[in-house]
Amino acid sequence: MKEKIKAFFNDVAKEMRKVTWPTQDELKESTTIVVVMCLVMSAFTYIIDIGITGVFRSVFK
């Protein structure tokens, strides 16, 4: 069991050396894209919600 645990952590270390980490500029750009898309999707969901609420209020009035 002890050997399996050691082998697991050795494999993890080997794989982590293969990882290509993003540069600071790439990370900033990706973060900006994610935040902007979250805001856009939130606004879209809000607008759709207002529209559906208006339809239901007019139908079930």
Per-residue pLDDT, 50? 98
Q: Which residues contact 7 (CB under 8 A, 6 or more apart)?
A: none
Lookup result for tokens 């999707």 = 41
pTM value > 0.85 = no
Rounded to 5°, the CA angle 34-40-45 comes to 120
Type of residue at 32: T
Q: In the structure, what pLDDT confidence band is assigned to residue 56 with cuts at 50, 70 and 90?
A: very high
Please check the confidence at residue 61 and state whether its pLDDT lies above 90.
no
Domain boundaries, the chain: 22-61
- Yes or no: say if 30 and 22 are a contact pair by the CB < 8 Å rule: yes
Of residues 52 and 1, more confidently modeled: 52
Q: Number of C-alpha atoms within 13 angstroms, CB side, residue 13?
A: 6
Using one digit for the tens of pLDDT, what is the confidence trace for 15-51? 999 999 999 999 999 999 999 999 999 999 999 999 9
